[in-house]
Structure 1
Amino acid sequence: MSYDEFYVKSVIRSLPDWPEPGVIFRDVTPIFKDPRATRMVADAFIQRYINSEISHIACIDARGFLFGSILAHQLNLPLVLVRKKGKLPGDTIHQEYQLEYGSAAVEMQTDSVGQGDKVLIFDDLIATGGTILAACTLIKKLGAEVIEAAALIDLPDLQGSARIQEAGVPVYTLIAYEGV
């Protein structure tokens, strides 16, 4: 089965005016109710990274966990979590970042990656890029290198992918939605 962008886009739910007026929320959760779409997306990412130099997959809370865990399993790589602050046990470091409507923070456990590790950051969607850039900062603070940031969806009008690339991190996504 090969990747079919039109089919996967038909499965993604677009919810107007959520979580606030004027926003169209791109809901990836219906993909997981559709085994064909799940397989297409997973296979597309697996094919991209199967022969890559990545040593770890860092997935972002919470929808990034879904495909991140599939990729880590299929590629036989360690999965590390980037979570909202206060959600991980043990020694952690955190990084604050700006949202369209305020600020937030993400954290990682201090032993999740280290010197010499080559990390793929995975999330479901790239909007303003703040979460992925915060994850990049944490990974670099822990001594590892970010090889690429990947997501199922890019919202290019919000400039997140451009910001991530300007920070020196390549970006790969399967689907782009113009307009917000």
Structure 2
Amino acid sequence: MTDRRKLLRDQTNHLHKKLDDNVGPLGTSDQYLRYLRGMLQFRRPIEQQIAASRLPEDFSTFVPSRISEELESDLRALDRAPIIVPAELIDPQPLDFSELLGVLYVLEGSSLGARFLIKRAEQLGFGEATGASHLAKQTCDSGNWKAFCALLEQVETVDEEAMASAARTTFSRALDAFEKV
């Protein structure tokens, strides 16, 4: 594990565990539906914030993953209307480079957890066309996580405290979203 990745993992481990505990085992359709709603409430505003940010030229081989549209599609596939994210949760303020790295550490890292979650979804009867398209998108290309990790170590000028703070804030925003659904 690289130095920056280890720093971010160490700085967020307690929040990551708390989020995993809050999301739960996804053993029922109701738990899965709660997961979808929490993910959409979390991802939509943060993806809008990323879209408002200028992606550095250093990102030439890395493109941040966006799954909000797939989450909305998954909810519609389950005959559920996507939730409306309150305006106060949408923060289109651009992130600076160090903050962007911290946020993306959390979002891109979720693709690793998606490999486990897609199996749980399949056991519940959800597939790419039936409520798990966001998981299919997250798991179809492991190269994006690897490209992000390489980028994380290659960049020269990073405010590591701002990066870690943004990662902690991102996990906290996810926790908040799941506590509200």
TM-score by length of 1: 0.28
The structure richer in strand per residue is: 1
Looking at both structures, which has the greater relative contact order when contacts are Cα pairs under 8 Å and sequence separation is at least 6?
A: 2
The structure richer in helix per residue is: 2
TM-score by length of 2: 0.28
